[in-house]
Amino acid sequence: MSKENITIPTTQEVQDNQIRTYEQLLEGNRLFVEKELEQDPDYFKKLASGQRPDVLWIGCSDSRVPANQVTNTRPGEVFVHRNIANVCVHSDMNMLSVLDYAVNVLKVKHVIVAGHYGCGGVEAAMSNRQFGLIDNWLRHIKDVYRIHSHELDLITDDKARAKRLVELNVIEQVFNLCKTTIVQNAWQERIDLQIHGWVVDISTGKVKDMNVSCSNSNNLGKVFDLAQNHVAAH
């Protein structure tokens, strides 16, 4: 394409587009409120009375995988935490705070780690490029690759390898949640808490259950099993 064919928007056009996008959000809110009130005049009064979700969704920040739409649930039914590539690590106080509140205050029954194919964070972690501050976050996904490199390195197709890393990342994050004292202490007090791993296929909208659901610490390994009150050596 020649330079003559490239149209550069004017400052006024850029500003008009910004205003248009912002006003669309406000108009969207107006339509949302109007639609809900038509169906139930007391909808927002009920919503304001409190939340009682049974599910905590820990998903990717990607705009294409909103928890409520993927699960066809209503506001108030799913407690949500999202970050780049749905990572769950013991040093993330934000995630741990959400987990603690969901498990110990809201008493959710299910915690779902939801990854998705085509995850930009996972694909970035597979590369050798530097992206800036996010490189420190992507290290957690690189560690997942390192743990499973014996399998991943055998996959010659880049897209297939990325899809498998998405799946393995979800599995490892489920394992990470199970190792937290928050989840292990909850398992000592109740039997109705499960941790699950899902992968969303954006191209179909369907969820793939990774079949790694956990409801106790039996498979964590002795060093991570805090529920047995092991006596420290003196």
- Catalytic center residues: 60, 62, 64, 116, 119
The number of residues making up the chain comes to 234
| φ and ψ of 130, to 5 deg | -100, 135
Extended strands (E) in the chain: 55-60, 78-83, 110-116, 194-200, 207-209
Distance CA 199, CA 210 (A): 7
Please, are residues 228 and 144 in contact by the beta-carbon 8 Å criterion?
no
Dist. CA 87–CA 125, nearest whole Å = 12
* Contact status, residue 232 vs residue 213, Cβ threshold 8 Å: no
Half-sphere exposure of 24 (CA within 13 A, CB side): 6
Query: Do residues 96 and 180 touch, judged by C-beta distance below 8 A?
Result: yes
C-alpha distances (whole Å) from 214 to each of 33, 62, 174, 178, 192 are 39, 26, 8, 8, 11
Q: Which of 121, 150, 116, 153 is nearest to 138 (CA)?
A: 121
